[in-house]
Amino acid sequence: MTSKISFSKLLKENLRRRPGMIALTTLYFLFTSIMFIIAIQNTMAFEGWTRKEVYDQILVSIGFSDMSVLCALLGVIVGVSGFAWMHSGKKSDFYYALPVRRRELFRVITAGSILVFGALLLVSSLIRLAITAALGYCTPMVFANLLLGLICYLATYVSAFLTAALAMSLTGHIVVGILGTGVFLTWAPVLCKYMITNFQRIFFQTFVSPSRLLDILDYGSPTYLLVLYGNDKSGMYTLESVAAGKIPWSMILHGAVICLWIAALFILCRKIFEIRPAEAAGNAMAFPKINPVIRVLLVIPMASFVGYYMYSLTLSTSKLWVFFGVALGAVLIHGIIECIFQFDVHGLWSHRKQMFATTFVALCLTATFYLDLYGYDTYVPKAEQTDSVMLEETHFNGRLDYFWGESEHGVSGEEKESILTVLREALSDSADDAAADTSDATVEEVSQGEADSVSQFYSIYNGMNMSDNPNQKFLLVTYYMKDGRQIRRNYSMDTAKVNQVLDQAFQMESYRKSLYALYTADWDAIEEITWSDQLNTQSMTLTEEEKEELLRTYLSELDMLTYEQMRTTVPTGELEVRHDTENYNTPSEDYYYIYPTFTKTLAFLEKKGCPVHESLADMNITQIDVCDYRGKESEDWTVTDPELIRQVKTHLKPAVTGYSINATGYEGSDYLLYDITVSFHNQYGKSVITVVTDEEGMRLLESGAAPVEQAAE
């Protein structure tokens, strides 16, 4: 029988029995309010603080922030404590004996938990608003951020509470209920997402970063999605867009998904609460029939982490360790889960058929990545799906990181189709070459030790063979798709194929504009241009007309530079361009290298007084230090013989840049095998610079090799 006790009386009685929940929620809001005040106080404590800095801090603190983590934790604790009585036989008998329908009982517990949080959230928000108004920073934007934060905090708490309530209703022991809550919160966005990411990182040689498609798994947990938003300092949703009447599509999508999740969780929790067997208290699971499903859903992703751990533990020596780890993990995790279900260690080997079947499925899933049945490593999108293509080689990474021109996405238009065709052909040829190389390997070669043992080590980050293969080169490609996605691949191809692709790209105007900021940058932002060749450095005083003449002359000659010239020629100098950059208080630098073929640029610089034709042959070199890296241990020697120095210095060229010579694109193998520095005297006193040399220069230096210790004696 059920009585006609009013809902308000039931709610009041429930709250009277839950003082701990009220105290904990009050403590949470007291803590967050204090942290709000401290954040503003700390901003104003800095000398020279501005009202804008304080205003920005208030906008961040008064809205939805990283406090969402504590909010979610509070929701879980309240949810677990609110339904913990179901796991006690005596308490559940008492509650179920009350003349109240189960549906009504669920509503009372849920409503009480949410009302307490909501009331204190409103009070806390009003206090923050009053503090902000007292400081004189209350604006419509602040109010909008406060309102958005209030909604998001409430949604975070409710979703976490209902997730915990669902886990507690499905289980019969509080420890299992807490574990179940953790699983519900993280299964899709953490376990599944990182399982796929780890497999991609291990097995796909072209892997760069996880695909944005995997972000769909974040929608598998509304609480995780909200916490992710709360910790996103870049602003997943911009209030400026909302204020302008342009609500981002992502904001609508996230809001709709979260609302649907909360509604679904409420309905599901209430239904399970109604049909939950009273005798389930004390058991691991309230509904044993769902145990096989839970085991499968947990074993497969968790086994993949064991495989990844085994692979890293064995220094990535063989991908077979991944399969071993997955199989071992599947068996152990299946047994551990069954032990939890049965509360008995003998359950470790229960349900062997399902254990072997689950292990087989986990191994098959792993094999699909190993065999690349998804075509990941050979993927090149169709031209009609692609907006543009950006090619990056090792030497270009620094340039792209500091790009300050108009945003360019590489090759587009008809040129894009040409690049995609060349990429497909290069990848196809590389695959054929790899297959041929594999078939040429014989057991006899391995048994004789002809294969270098280092070549059996693979990178844990992308599964690439870590051997130093001079015939292979990496090419990082970013495909900008028409649907807004960015797909990145780091192809390892034959060096000649990569050079072929980049040779063609270098001839394209759209590619050069994406690589060199000067083509599209605002030249008015340039503060200073400095010429340097390591021997001399000169800051030039230029009029606007001279600056424009220099830059136009340089770019016209850069248009004629080929990729082959760039990687085989040592630059004669560099231009350091200091320019203003948005959001930075100090100027930034950009570097442009000058090659011997840039005769017009060199003539302009010479006219401005730069000693562009001065070389090391003109310097009074007193010492040359060489470090040879070719052997197992490096060998150092010093050359001081004046006659030998006189012969070799005509073969020496400055490295021209304060960074690695590789940053210029130069691929001279001599420099990769040696470090060469020269000491000389000029008008600035004694100088020491890094140089590169040719084959003849290296031969001369080796003829004067003598250990440093011996030279000292």
Q: How many angstroms separate the CA atoms of 548 and 244, rounded?
A: 40
pLDDT at 582 (0 to 100): 74
Q: What's the confidence (pLDDT) of residue 713?
A: 43
Copy the structure tokens of residue 336: 């551990």
Strands 674-682 and 635-639: unpaired
With both helix axes pointing from N to C terminus, report the angle between 193-203 and 352-370 in degrees, rounded to the nearest 10. Answer: 50
Angstrom distances, CA of residue 146 to CA of 238, 242, 679: 13, 14, 64
Burial of 13 (C-beta count, 10 Å sphere; 0-12/13-18/19+): middle
pLDDT tens digits along 185-214: 999 999 999 999 999 999 999 999 888 889
Report the alpha-carbon distance of residue 157 to residue 261 in Å, rounded: 13
- pLDDT given for residue 711 in this prediction: 42
> For the packed helices 102-135 and 19-45, what is the interaxial angle rounded to 10 degrees?
20
Amino acid letter at 148? L
Strand partners, 474: 492
Nearest to 284 by CA among 442, 175, 360: 175
Kindly report the pTM of this predicted structure. 0.81
Alpha-carbon distance 158 to 578, whole Å? 52
Name the nearest CA neighbour of 68 among 32, 34, 25.
Answer: 32
Q: With left for phi above 0 and alpha for psi between -120 and 50, is residue 223 left, alpha or beta? A: alpha
Contact 173, 284 (CB under 8 A): yes
Beta-strand (E) ranges in 12-139? none
Return the amino acid letter for 686: K
Whose tokens are 């509604």? That residue is 263
Which helix (H) or strand (E) is 539 found in, with range? strand 537-540
- Say whether 171 sits in a helix, a strand or coil: strand
Strand 472-481 versus strand 411-412 pairing type:
unpaired
3-class DSSP state for residue 487? strand
**What is the reported pLDDT for 38?**
94
Classify burial at 524, counting beta carbons within 10 Å of its beta carbon; exposed 0-12, middle 13-18, buried 19 or more.
exposed
Nearest to 541 by CA among 531, 554, 552, 556: 531
Residue 304 · residue 329 · CB < 8 Å: yes
Output the pLDDT for position 456.
37
On whether the CB atoms of residues 269 and 162 are closer than 8 A, the answer is yes
Query: Any alpha helices (H) in 46-101, and if so which ranges?
Result: 51-62, 68-82, 89-97
Alpha-carbon distance 147 to 125, whole Å? Answer: 9
Q: What is the rounded distance in angstroms from the CA atom of residue 176 to the CA atom of residue 86?
A: 13
CB burial class (10 A; 0-12, 13-18, 19+) of residue 386? buried
What pLDDT sits at residue 710?
Answer: 43
What pLDDT, on the 0 to 100 scale, is given for residue 472?
A: 80
The string of pLDDT tens digits covering residues 478-499 is 999 998 889 999 998 888 888 8
CA distances from 307 to 196, 276, 318 (A): 12, 37, 12
The rounded distance, in Å, linking the Cα atoms of 73 and 697 is 68
- Alpha carbon distance 71, 124 (integer Å): 13
For residue 576, give the 3-state DSSP assignment: strand
User: Residue ranges of the chain with pLDDT lower than 50?
Assistant: 1, 234-237, 438-439, 441-468, 670-671, 707-713
Per the CB < 8 A criterion, the answer to whether 621 and 696 are in contact is no
Beta bridge partners of 677: 625, 690
